[in-house]
């Protein structure tokens, strides 16, 4: 029995209206564990985010934890939430079911950024964590993000184990629960709020006291999310207090009244913070996404504000961290396969190891932990979708600590009469210019996933020999763990299966295709390289790279449309 009167009314209305298509869509199948948990539209039915799917996920997570973590009863789990509709209801369900299962819960009493929840899992040595958030997804979505005891998002076999327990979970009214009052009386509900201050102090300490920067003026927006207070405290603690917020976007509001799509990457999302930046003469305009795990940056240049791409930010942060690295161990930096190949030559210039992982910080952080066990020193991981992990204090992307490092870097550059744009251009001249483009093809209808899969399977069956006039040297199929060349097909170790195709092209160019993990669309990623020998003439390098990029993009999208 669905415990939510609102979703019961929703179903009854659809039944009364005879809306078979909408009913079929909601009951097409259960919401699958994907990007480290669940994410989807709010609504009734097993294909939506609602109290039933949250309860089943929690029961499955608890059952799996009991099998895998012997000291679960003393360590417990951490639980947090963002400001989206029903986040408070879902969080309460998680707490009641976990404590009803005898598992202690460390709970934040109010809204909390995702990086603070991830920090708490490590700081408290908890057995895991749950964050109720849909991150940067549009209004109408919510999600259920799961962390393991290592502080990172779950990967196989834990995701599969939890999914199996969800399938075996009892009927909703048979899942034991404790009220919040009962849980407190039994000592199973514990306050995690002091971890907010611990996070602020730990992150600020990573730059505080560093010599010699110049004062910066910063325009900032939290995009109606939950990062405002923590962001300002971290920057102030590190000595950066000239921060001016977009007032109408500063308070948490899950309806996102001033932005159609609360993702800083989306056109228009940063309009208000850029306007504020121009009004106050800011050096930087910074936006966090609604749960604070991503960050976007625009820099004041000669022609006004210029937005840095996700890859620009990632390479700048990696280069700065590598340049300042002083430990004896060999540093390692990681990026995803859809992020810029430019990190490779940057890392090599410092004698650092560079690895690529599948898309998502769950892969970056779990691989980083393996490399640390081998003796490497983890410095940084990033993905081009504005997700950066510059501190081992948080084993996930962290838009707040990343913003602090960006501000610190910009401050040091300003003292030298330079900007982040100058630093980026210097890296291009040294290592080559990489033009990049991302294209998404959206699919509608109940068969959207099947149609997307058919396009990728068509490439697998008949790989192209050239794209945009550039010969395909190799196609990597991460789902089948096979590599295709014009000469042969052979296995390769992609570490984990994923429905991704990577085309490596002559000249160092690349193209990639994968289905989105959270929306019905195919994502295409393109990179075209201009070699470092052209660095002395950066405009020429850019022109050359973009000409190649346009041909590659046009050809691959045309091929996909023909499938």
The candidate with the shortest Cα–Cα distance to 285, out of 293, 295, 273, is: 273
Positive or negative, the CA dihedral 544, 547, 551, 556 is: positive
User: How far apart are the C-alpha atoms of 507 and 530, rounded to whole Å?
Assistant: 8
Positive or negative, the CA dihedral 336, 342, 344, 347 is: negative
The pairing of beta strand 482-484 with beta strand 489-491: antiparallel
Instruction: List the Cα angle 170/172/178 in 5-degree steps.
Output: 105
Query: In CATH terms, are 207-431 and 432-562 the same topology?
Result: no
User: How far apart are the C-alpha atoms of 479 and 390, rounded to whole Å?
Assistant: 29
Question: Are the CB atoms for 54 and 90 separated by under 8 Å?
Answer: yes
Q: Does domain 432-562 have CATH number 3.30.310.50?
A: yes
Question: Are the CB atoms for 235 and 407 separated by under 8 Å?
Answer: yes
135 is catalytic: yes
User: How far apart are the C-alpha atoms of 387 and 396, rounded to whole Å?
Assistant: 9
Q: Does domain 207-431 have CATH number 3.40.50.11890?
A: no
Question: Are the CB atoms for 437 and 310 separated by under 8 Å?
Answer: no
User: How far apart are the C-alpha atoms of 91 and 328, rounded to whole Å?
Assistant: 43
Per-residue pLDDT of the chain (563 residues; tens, 9 = 90+): 678 888 899 899 999 899 898 888 889 888 887 657 899 999 999 999 999 999 999 999 999 999 999 999 999 999 999 999 999 999 999 999 999 999 999 999 999 999 999 999 999 999 999 999 999 999 999 999 999 999 999 999 999 999 999 999 999 999 999 999 999 999 999 999 999 999 999 999 999 777 567 899 999 999 999 999 999 999 999 999 999 999 999 999 999 999 989 999 999 999 999 999 999 999 999 999 999 999 999 999 999 999 999 999 999 999 999 999 988 889 999 999 999 999 999 999 999 999 999 999 999 999 999 999 999 999 999 999 999 999 999 999 999 999 999 999 999 999 999 999 999 999 999 999 999 999 999 988 878 888 999 999 999 999 999 999 999 999 999 999 999 999 999 998 888 888 999 999 999 999 999 988 767 899 999 999 998 775 568 888 899 999 999 999 999 999 887 76
Q: What is the DSSP string of 181-221?
A: HHHHHTT-EEE-THHHHHHHHHHHHTTTT-S------EEEE
Omega within 30 of 0 (cis) for the link into 131: no
CATH superfamily of 5-192: Alpha-D-Glucose-1,6-Bisphosphate, subunit A, domain 3 (3.40.120.10)
Place of tokens 């039933």: 52
The answer for residues whose C-beta is within 8 angstroms of residue 509's C-beta and 6 or more apart is 470, 526, 527, 528, 529, 548, 549, 552
Which residues, listed in sequence order, are joined to residue 524 by a DSSP beta bridge?
Answer: 439, 513
Positive or negative, the CA dihedral 253, 256, 262, 267 is: negative
Residue ranges of domains in the chain: 5-192, 207-431, 432-562
Question: Which of the following is catalytic: 22, 87, 135, 391?
Answer: 135
The answer for residues whose C-beta is within 8 angstroms of residue 223's C-beta and 6 or more apart is 249, 256, 259, 262, 264, 269, 287, 288, 289, 290
């Amino acid at each position: 029995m669905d415990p939510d009167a609102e979703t019961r009314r929703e179903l009854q209305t659809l039944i009364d209206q005879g809306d078979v298509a909408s009913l079929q869509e909601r009951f097409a199948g259960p919401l699958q564990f994907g990007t480290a948990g669940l994410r989807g539209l709010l609504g009734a039915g097993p294909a939506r985010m609602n109290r039933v799917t949250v309860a089943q996920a929690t029961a499955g997570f608890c059952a799996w934890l009991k099998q895998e973590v012997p000291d679960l009863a003393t360590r417990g789990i951490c639980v947090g939430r963002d400001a989206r509709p029903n986040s408070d209801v879902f969080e309460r369900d998680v707490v009641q079911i976990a404590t009803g299962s005898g598992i202690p819960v460390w709970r934040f009493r109010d809204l909390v950024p995702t990086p603070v929840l991830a920090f708490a899992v490590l700081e408290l040595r908890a057995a895991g964590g749950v964050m109720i958030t849909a991150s940067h997804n549009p209004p109408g979505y919510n999600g259920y993000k799961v962390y393991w005891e290592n502080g990172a998002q779950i990967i196989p076999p834990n995701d599969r184990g939890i999914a199996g327990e969800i399938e075996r979970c009892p009927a909703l009214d048979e899942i034991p629960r404790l009220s919040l009052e009962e849980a407190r009386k039994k000592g199973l509900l514990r306050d995690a709020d002091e971890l907010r201050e611990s996070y602020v102090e730990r992150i600020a300490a990573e730059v505080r006291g560093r010599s010699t920067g110049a004062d910066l003026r910063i325009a900032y927006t939290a995009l109606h999310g939950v990062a405002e207070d923590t962001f300002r405290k971290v920057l102030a603690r590190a000595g950066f207090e000239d921060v001016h917020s977009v007032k109408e976007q500063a308070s948490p509001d899950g309806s996102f009244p001033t932005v159609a799509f609360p993702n800083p990457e989306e056109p228009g999302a940063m309009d208000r913070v850029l306007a504020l930046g121009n009004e106050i003469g800011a050096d930087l305009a910074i936006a966090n996404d609604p749960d604070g795990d991503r960050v976007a940056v625009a820099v004041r240049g000669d022609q006004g504000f210029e937005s840095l791409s996700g890859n620009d930010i990632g390479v700048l942060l990696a280069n700065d961290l590598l340049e300042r690295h002083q430990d004896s161990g060999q540093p390692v930096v990681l990026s995803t396969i859809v992020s810029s190949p430019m990190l490779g030559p940057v890392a090599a210039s410092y004698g650092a190891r560079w690895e690529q992982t599948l898309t998502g910080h769950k892969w970056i952080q779990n691989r980083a932990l393996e490399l640390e066990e081998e003796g490497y020193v983890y410095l940084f991981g990033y993905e081009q979708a504005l997700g950066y992990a510059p501190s081992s204090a948080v084993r996930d992307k962290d838009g707040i600590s990343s913003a602090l490092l960006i501000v610190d870097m910009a401050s040091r550059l300003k003292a030298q009469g330079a900007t982040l744009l100058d630093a980026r251009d210097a890296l291009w001249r040294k290592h080559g210019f990489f033009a990049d483009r991302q294209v998404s093809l959206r699919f509608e209808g109940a068969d959207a996933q099947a149609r997307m899969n058919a396009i990728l399977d068509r490439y697998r069956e008949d790989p192209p020999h050239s794209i945009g006039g550039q010969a395909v040297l190799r196609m990597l199929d991460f789902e089948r763990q096979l590599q295709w060349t014009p000469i042969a097909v052979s296995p390769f170790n992609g570490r984990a299966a994923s429905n991704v195709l990577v085309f490596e092209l002559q000249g160092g160019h690349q193209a990639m295709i994968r289905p989105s993990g959270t929306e019905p669309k195919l994502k295409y990623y393109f990179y075209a390289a201009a070699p470092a020998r052209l660095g002395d003439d950066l405009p020429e390098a850019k022109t050359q790279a973009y000409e190649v990029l346009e041909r590659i993009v046009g050809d691959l999208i045309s091929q996909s449309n023909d499938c």
